Chain A
Amino acid sequence: MTISHHPPDELIADFATGRLDEANHLVVAVHLTQCPACRRFAGAMEHLAGAALEASEPVSMRADAFEAVLAKLDQPQPAPRAEVSSPSTLPDEDLPEILRRCRFGKQRRVAPGLKMQPIILPSASQSRAFLLWSAPGARMLQHSHSGTELTCVLKGSFSHEAGRYGPGDFDFGDGEVDHQPVVGPEEPCLCVVAMTGDLELHGLLGRMISPFVRL
């Protein structure tokens, strides 16, 4: 698998320092599981964050802080929460491990040749995540974003002005992008997407159906 499209450096740094909203965090994490180069880059960011920790100005702890922690050292650890199993809603796909641990909502059709399945992230504040299937050869409606759209391809491919996106590739769209992706003819394209804000559909058809397209 050759990955040719990667998240912007800033996004990986935000991931490594824990600044991303839950849905964005998940989609970047999916890319990192597929991309050794970005994984190493994120690791380098963690090391630089360690250097920032060393260089940070110490702030005194409460007087009883050490004693409070000492008192907890021998207490049994709380048992890890049981994993949420949801076989009924887990899509029938060969998903990366990190996605198989997620909980999914109901699959639904968005438009002809396009279906989605939400990923349930109770703590996401601004972004939402979902799986998106599109039929081979499908031409998506021309759209732009009021927020950001982070996409990682899991299967199949799509293309737009910036190139062709295959498995593992990462596409970052923001308010400045106005594009019309075309799905590759070889097989359905499956992506994991994190989105903030709304899609804005263009063209007469887009304006006509936009009340019905809810992602």
Chain B
Amino acid sequence: MNAGLPVLSRSVRSKPSVPVRPWIRLQRTPFERPKATVEWAELIGRVAAHGDRDAFRLLFEHFAPRVKGLLMKIGTDRETAEEIAQNTLLAVWRKAAQFDPSSGGAAAWIFTIARNLRIDAARRAMRQARADQPDAVDDADDIVESPEMLMTRSEDVSRVAAALLRLSDEQSKVVRMSFIEERPHAEIAEVLGIPLGTVKSRIRLAMNRLRDLLDEPT
């Protein structure tokens, strides 16, 4: 399918313990297609096209421990995190054909799968707790199914990708740490080596810039 594939799998295999961070590479080489992102996307493509188990193993070895790690960091217990990480990769296998490589976000796609599974798990636990109450009504149906990813329109996808490319590394980092990882401002100040008083204004500036960039037509 692609002449570059043998090289691709070798390069991923040869350094299994080095975390590949497509995001950071994306920042450094804004005018090239981000290589690492293409690699994960290619692997998902191979799973979709041929049920390629070698490709799946690479995806599993890279993402499952990270899903588990991220979930545990945000307070999920080890057992549940393990289960969700396994099911996330199982869903990657089953839904590989639904992944849109042009979105450029294999990690984002896998994140949304893990997120939805975590929401499902929390809801099941809540229903279980209710069912244990004496006056509980049996309501086992999932009412609102969350879509895999919010953006299904390609226009949206390309605008978001373009906006994120134009956000500086520093700005995307500060937004990520504050809004996604919910780190306290003091910790952000320490990581970025800026005064505590600057953190808030920098977050605000980054958010405004992101909003502006998202509003621009591509």
Contact = CB atoms under 8 A, between A and B. Distances in A.
Interface string A175-201: 000000000000000000000000000
B120 to A, nearest CB: 9
Query: Chain A: interface secondary structure?
Result: helix
A53 interface: yes
Interface string B173-192: 00110011100000000000
Contact of B111 (A46, A60, A65, A73): A46
For chain B, the bracket of interface size reads: 35 or more
Interface string A91-128: 00000001001110000000000000000111111000
B93 A13 contact: no
Given A61-B82, A122-B130, A77 B108 contact: no
A72 to B, nearest CB: 6
Contacts of A102: 143-144
Given A44-B214, A73-B93, A62 B149 contact: no
B130 to A, nearest CB: 7
Interface of B: 19-23, 51, 53, 56-57, 60-61, 63-70, 72-73, 78, 81-82, 85-86, 89-90, 93-94, 105-112, 114-116, 118-119, 122-124, 126-127, 130, 137, 139-146, 149-151, 156-157, 159-161, 163-164, 172, 175-176, 179-181, 207, 210-211, 214-215
5 contacts: A22-B123, A37-B215, A44-B210, A65-B64, A72-B90
